[in-house]
Amino acid sequence: MLRSARGNSNLPGSVIAPLGCPTTTRRPPLRLALLATAPALLWLALFFVGPMLLILGTSFLSRGDVGELTRPFTLENYRRLVGFGVFGFESLYPLIILRSLALGGLTAILCVLAGLPLAFFIAGLPPRWKGAALTLVVIPFWTNLLIRTYAWQILLSPDGWISRIAVALGTVESGAALYPGAGAVLVAMVCDYLPFMVLPLYASVEKLDWTLAEAAADLGARAGQVFRHALLPQIRSGIAAGVILVFLPATGQFVIPDLLGGARTVLLGNAVQQQFGPGLDWPFGAAIAALGLATVLAGVWLYGRVTGGREEVGVV
Amino acid sequence: MKRARLPLGLSAVGLYFFLYAPLAVVVVFSFNAARHGVVWQGFTTDWYRRLLSDELALSAAKNTLLLGGFSTAIATVLGTLLAFGLSRSGLPGQRWALRLLQVPVFIPDIVFAAAMLLFYSLVRQWLGLFELGVSTMVMAHVTFQIPFVTIVVRARLAGLDPALEEAARDLGANAWQAFRCVTLPVILPGVLAAAMLAFTLSLDDFVVSFFTSGPGSATLPILIYSSVKRGVTPEINALATLIVLASLAATLSVVLLQRRRRA
């Protein structure tokens, strides 16, 4: 993806770029370039930046008697979010925030653990199989998340074979459902977001300098030490990129906890839906959404730092 | 690391199995004769036949295709133009534009969906525009499709030899002619791949559609969601299987189109 079209003109002794030719590309002309970017940028300004600013603005408003947005401007919504209730500390929303962060973090960690063997396996395949193996990882990602999620209701149902194995192993009581619950949410999250992790991991594993591993092994390092000291430092940025790619959408998930979590596994996404739907408290919902937006902006900034700005979001 | 081949292979097989288990179970149970429960009671194609006479499902399918078709067409044009414009180096604000493009990709669906709902209802109050329905869904979908289209087309443009366009200009083409007659045909496979991806995204979306739909504009994912809330049925599995097949066809054609780049 990053190969340069005229990279060979940098070679010593190259005669490809004649004198007087600009070496950087100036196509297309400035006026045309601006004209071409205008429609999409205007669209995004109107339908993306605009709504996001509205969310931010609304989060400082109050809710009227019939659910309408009214003044006064207030910080009340944010205070409620961090636990200031009418009767002192109210743990509901701080707990939802913590639970979302914990589930998102746990999902990211499990995806790293599952993604590493998969990335190393694909990178070790003969070149002609690599593309197919990688495509096989990506295909589920491009199918409907809702479908992949409700499928776990079937897979984890009390008379399904996963439950029977769990019963046979004594991990759950007979007849007990594996969902709804935090465990079911976690399993589905890892399954849904694993492709997001494998792609950046694979990209960095593919570029590994294996001579370092050989040198370490020659100097007497055991396999675990080789991995920790010779390989891990080289793929650290790939892991970081994958963690961001998984953590951000996972913390804001709405469908997965909605279908598999039950009443006790409410996450931030469900809280937003609750306030914009039946709760009819849009200013408070907007405050929760604004928290999500702030997290994403921080994540995008971090992702740029981690990948050195070279890489765009790579899911294709 | 050579010694680790076997455990690595085994865990990879397990993980592929894990990734495909949900899809497989939906497909398998769409052919299960049992009305309830997860016990296999024989093969049937009845659920598919029933789907064809289900008015709700047919109208949802129509909405889904309308939504996917219109949003993909608009997003592909806008996103391709944006990628083309951004391919010029040294554009003012270029880095900011690229950063902006990443935000819709990362943002949780629900945050974007809530923002669109808020935006539409405020504009409706002030200007009387944007009655919720297929058109508001199209606008929302275009918004999250544009960044993906731009990213895919940019990758294709990066591999384009600028000498081609320069040659066209030297031979007297104006900038627009050079784009239309030289650049566009070369990047066309990338544009098609981007369009297929955009369509898949639209087909996959539930959350944004759910928030921006109006009466009578339910799509297939919305239908699936409301049915699943009442319990998974074999009809829903049949419907889901068809959607998975459509995504599969679109994704595979993207892969093939991308592969031609290397040929």
- For B55-262, CATH number out of 1.10.3720.10, 3.40.50.1820, 2.40.50.140, 1.10.4190.10 equals 1.10.3720.10
Q: How far is B247 from chain A (nearest CA, A)?
A: 6
Counting the structural domains of chain A, the total is 1
Predicted TM-score of the model (pTM): 0.84
Distance CA B146, CA A119 (A): 29
Q: Which of B31, B71, B110 to mutate to test the interface with A (most CBs of A within 10 A)?
A: B110
Work out the average pLDDT over A177-198: 87
Q: How many beta-carbon contacts under 8 Å exist across A and B? A: 312
pLDDT of residue B49: 87
In this complex, do B148 and A254 lie within 8 Å of one another by their Cβ atoms?
no
Query: Is residue A92 one of the residues assigned to a domain?
Result: no
What are the pLDDT digits (tens) for A206-233?
888 888 888 888 888 888 888 888 888 8
pLDDT digits (tens, 9 = 90+) for A283-302: 888 999 999 899 888 888 88
Q: Mind listing the pLDDT tens digit for each residue in A22-71?
A: 444 556 678 888 888 899 999 999 999 999 999 998 888 888 776 677 77
B203 and A144 within 8 Å at the Cβ level: the answer is yes
User: Domain span at residue A240?
Assistant: 98-268
Using the beta-carbon criterion (under 8 Å), do B99 and A139 form an inter-chain contact? no
- Facing residue for A154 by CB, picked from B25, B79, B115: B25
Residue A95 predicted with pLDDT over 50: yes
Judged against a pLDDT cut of 70, whether residue B4 lies above it is answered with: no
* CATH code of residue A188: 1.10.3720.10
What tens digit of pLDDT does each residue of B246-257 get? Answer: 888 888 888 887
Contact between chains at A40 and B179 (C-beta distance less than 8 A): no
Mean pLDDT of chain A: 80
* HEC sequence for chain A: CCCCCCHHHHCCCCCCCCCCCCCCCCCCCHHHHHHHHHHHHHHHHHHHHHHHHHHHHHCCCEECCCCCEECCCCCHHHHHHCCEECCEECCHHHHHHHHHHHHHHHHHHHHHHHHHHHHHHHHCCCHHHHHHHHHHHHHHHCCCHHHHHHHHHHHCCCCCHHHHHHHHCCCCCCCCCCCCCHHHHHHHHHHHHHHHHHHHHHHHHHCCCHHHHHHHHHCCCCHHHHHHHHHHHHHHHHHHHHHHHHHHHHHCCCHHHHHHHCCCCCCHHHHHHHHHCCCCCHHHHHHHHHHHHHHHHHHHHHHHHHCCCCCCCCCC
Contact B111 A3 (CB under 8 A): no
Residues of B in contact with A55 (CB under 8 A): 111, 114-115, 118
Q: Do B38 and A160 touch (CB under 8 A)?
A: yes
B250 reaches A (C-beta below 8 A): yes
Contact between B15 and A44 using a beta-carbon 8 Å cutoff: no
User: Which of B82, B119, B158 comes nearest A51 by C-beta?
Assistant: B119
Cβ contact B143–A269 (<8 Å): no
Neighbours of A55 (CB within 10 A): 26
Would the CB atoms of A44 and B143 count as touching at under 8 Å?
Answer: yes
Query: Complex ipTM above 0.85?
Result: yes
Query: Which residues of chain A does B8 touch, with a Cβ-Cβ cutoff of 8 Å?
Result: 117, 120-121, 124
